[in-house]
Amino acid sequence: MTVFIDTREKARAIKKIIETFDRRGVTHISTKLYVGDYQRLDNPMIVVDRKQNLLEVAQNVCQDHKRFKDELLRAQAAGIHLVFLVEHGGQIHSLEDVRGWINPRLRTSPMAMSGERLYKILTTMSKTYDCEFRFCSKAQTGDRIIEILNERRQV
């Protein structure tokens, strides 16, 4: 398997992912991707976009909404199924679990995004743009990326 990694992924942030790819015999090439962060050379219709945690996702759908939505629209127009892999860990294993997430920013800013509100936004985006939000711990990221990119999507 050969995986393209977007050039905007920071080397320090993906060190363990690269180690997983190397250990599992996955060839990886750094290049600018149209959407997302990881794409399989021979199955370009499923792309993984890695997110550090739910705080990053909340920022993407709130402050960076236009850029985030534009990426979803590009993927949708190209027929690409975008899977957001959120490295949150802890008690967050599914989109449904996001409802119970306590945003640490709520302590200092009562207007910060709640877990319930984020859940509703992500659910709507999933349905509207044919994308998915999946969750894992940082230790699982490399293996989960490989699993997702090995999936065959029915069109």
**pTM, to two decimals:** 0.93
Question: Does 137 reside within a domain?
Answer: yes
How many CB atoms sit inside 10 A of residue 2's CB?
11
Nearest in space to 51 (alpha carbons), one of 11, 12, 14: 14
pLDDT score of 96: 96
Domain containing residue 121: CATH number: 3.40.50.10130
Question: Does 53 reside within a domain?
Answer: yes
Q: What is the mean pLDDT of each run of 10 residues along the chain (155 residues)?
A: 96 94 97 97 95 95 90 96 94 95 89 94 95 96 97 66
pLDDT score of 153: 63
Q: Which residues span the domain enclosing 136?
A: 43-149
Question: Does 81 reside within a domain?
Answer: yes
pLDDT score of 29: 97
Question: Does 109 reside within a domain?
Answer: yes
> Are the CB atoms for 67 and 74 separated by under 8 Å?
no
Nearest in space to 46 (alpha carbons), one of 154, 155, 146, 153: 153
Question: Does 32 reside within a domain?
Answer: no
pLDDT score of 27: 97
Question: Does 21 reside within a domain?
Answer: no
What is the domain count for the chain? 1
Question: Does 5 reside within a domain?
Answer: no
Question: Does 18 reside within a domain?
Answer: no
